[in-house]
Structure formats: structure tokens, C-alpha cells
């Protein structure tokens, strides 16, 4: 059974679906048969993504709102149900990054990142799961975490803490919701070829990341569709016996502790 056949007719909501990874996930799930709703705070990017999917022959609607605001979450879910029907799959992808050292992280920035990256995922998961339970249809929830949940990766204190929290949220929700037929899993991308990377590193760094990324066993960046295909698998009934897991898509980064390679040669 293919992911395409099991996602046909399913209703999917992707947060942060207007750009980058969320856009790629929405496109992949739509291509595999799902009716897709994308949620975010920027109407323009959401509309552009929806237009691209419509041009490709896929059904996509837009919900503008903040996942960190309970009323906004409820309004978005209600709108998806009104236009597409009950939600079968939720993908919690919306995320913010803030770059600062531990000692230099401001409480305002800390709260802003945690509210979106962790509280927002909690609210979306809780409110969608309530609807899934009431409908008695079960469902699948996929949280986008990060390999940053497994160790520090530069000065992204609030981001790393939030993504660590996502792994905990995934396991707790998976345990409590299993009896309702609701599966909850996470996907943890490694360094991925998104605009966040390509537009914010030097040309030399990008060439290294693309052609000779020595820290990573596969020596390259992850591609967006590689993450999206992992999401599609976990969202589908092909993963019917899987819940509470974190699936890294990182070209092997976490498989290597990178100690031996850094030892002096003499």
C-alpha cells in the first residue's frame, strides 16, 4: 500500500505552511492525495503557496492566525472543518529561531520563541486531538522537532529548548491519545536546504554545506522533500503501528559523535 493511496481523501492541516519546510510538506501531502489547509501569520506567503498547489491541481485552503493564541487556533480548526471536513492529519511545523548566547538571551525573545515553537504545538495538538476524539475517527499528528533537541548547535538557546520540549510533548501525547486511535510522532530534520540556510551563510559556507559537509556522514544538506516524505509516511496508515517516536532525517549526523575525527593525528 502506498502513501498516496492511504492519504487520498484525507484532510491535513500544516502550520507554518507558507514557506520553506512547511511549504514542502504541504506540497508533498497534497501530491499524495490529501486535501490540505495551511496556517500561518502571513497572508501573502500562504496565498502564494495555495496558488502554487492549486496550479498543480491540488486542493488547498488558507487559515491566517497565530498558533500561540487559543482563540486563533480554534478559529482555524473550525474553518478547516467547514471547508474541508474533519482533520485527519495535523503537522505542527510552525517555528521561530532566535540567535543569542545563553547569558545573552533576553526574556522577551525567550518567551516569543517558546510560545510559538512549543506552546503553539501544544495548543494545536490538544485542540485537534479533542476534535479527533469526539469524531471517533482517530488520526495522526506529526511534530517537526530538530536534531538540536539532542545537543547544542550554535547560539540558539530558546530554539533548542523548545525543540527538546517537542520531543517530550510527542511522547506524552502519544501515550495519552493512543486509546483514541490518535498517533503522535516527531520528525527531526538535520541541516536542511531551506532559505534560512541559503540566504544566511556565505557563498563559501554554502558550497561546503552542499558539496563537502564533512561533519555529516552523507556530506550534504538534507533536502526539504526528504523531510516531507518522512512526514507523509508517519501521517499515513503505512505507519499504523508507530507512535511516540522521533525520526531523525539528518543524513546521518546523529549517528556520529564526531570525537575520533577531531583527535590530534600525532
The set of catalytic residues is 159
By DSSP bridging, strand 139-144 and strand 11-15 are unpaired
Q: What's the grid cell of residue 120?
A: 503553539
Count Cβ atoms below 10 Å from residue 110 Cβ, excluding itself. 16
Cα dihedral 101, 67, 168, 258, rounded to 10, equals -40
Q: Let me know the angle formed at the C-alpha of 29 by 25 and 31, rounded to the nearest 5 degrees.
A: 115
Q: How far from chain centre, in Å, is Cα 55?
A: 24
Q: For 211-247, b where at least 16 C-beta lie within 10 A, e where not — what string?
A: eebeebeeeebbebebbbbbbbbbbbebbeeebbbbb
Closest CA to 8 of 224, 236, 199, 198: 236
Burial of 154 (C-beta count, 10 Å sphere; 0-12/13-18/19+): exposed
Sign of CA dihedral 64, 69, 72, 76: positive
* Alpha-carbon span 96 to 122, nearest angstrom: 15
* Alpha-carbon span 97 to 187, nearest angstrom: 17
Amino acid at each position: 500500500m502506498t502513501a498516496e493511496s492511504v492519504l487520498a481523501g484525507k484532510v491535513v492541516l500544516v502550520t507554518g505552511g507558507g514557506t520553506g519546510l512547511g511549504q514542502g510538506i504541504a506540497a508533498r501531502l497534497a501530491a499524495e492525495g490529501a486535501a490540505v489547509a495551511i496556517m500561518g501569520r502571513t497572508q501573502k506567503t500562504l496565498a502564494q503557496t495555495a496558488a502554487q498547489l492549486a496550479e498543480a491541481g491540488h486542493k488547498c485552503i488558507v487559515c491566517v492566525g497565530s498558533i500561540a493564541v487559543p482563540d486563533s487556533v480554534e478559529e482555524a480548526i473550525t474553518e478547516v472543518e467547514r471547508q474541508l471536513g474533519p482533520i485527519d492529519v495535523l503537522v505542527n511545523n510552525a517555528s521561530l529561531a532566535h540567535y543569542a548566547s545563553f547569558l545573552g538571551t533576553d526574556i522577551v525573545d525567550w518567551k516569543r520563541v517558546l510560545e510559538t515553537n512549543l506552546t503553539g504545538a501544544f495548543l494545536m495538538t490538544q485542540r485537534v486531538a479533542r476534535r479527533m476524539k469526539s469524531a471517533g475517527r482517530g488520526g495522526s499528528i506529526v511534530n517537526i522537532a530538530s536534531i538540536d533537541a539532542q545537543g547544542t548547535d550554535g547560539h540558539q538557546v530558546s530554539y533548542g529548548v523548545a525543540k527538546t520540549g517537542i520531543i517530550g510533548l510527542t511522547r506524552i501525547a502519544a501515550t495519552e491519545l493512543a486509546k483514541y486511535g490518535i498517533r503522535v510522532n516527531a520528525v527531526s530534520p538535520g541541516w536542511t536546504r531551506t532559505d534560512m540556510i541559503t540566504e544566511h551563510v556565505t557563498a563559501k559556507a554554502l558550497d561546503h554545506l552542499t558539496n563537502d559537509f564533512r561533519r555529516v556522514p552523507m556530506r550534504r544538506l538534507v533536502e526539504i522533500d526528504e523531510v516531507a516524505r518522512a512526514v507523509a509516511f508517519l501521517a499515513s496508515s503505512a505507519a499504523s503501528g508507530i507512535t511516540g517516536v522521533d525520526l531523525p532525517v539528518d543524513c546521518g549526523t546523529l549517528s556520529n559523535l564526531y570525537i575520533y575525527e577531531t583527535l590530534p593525528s600525532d
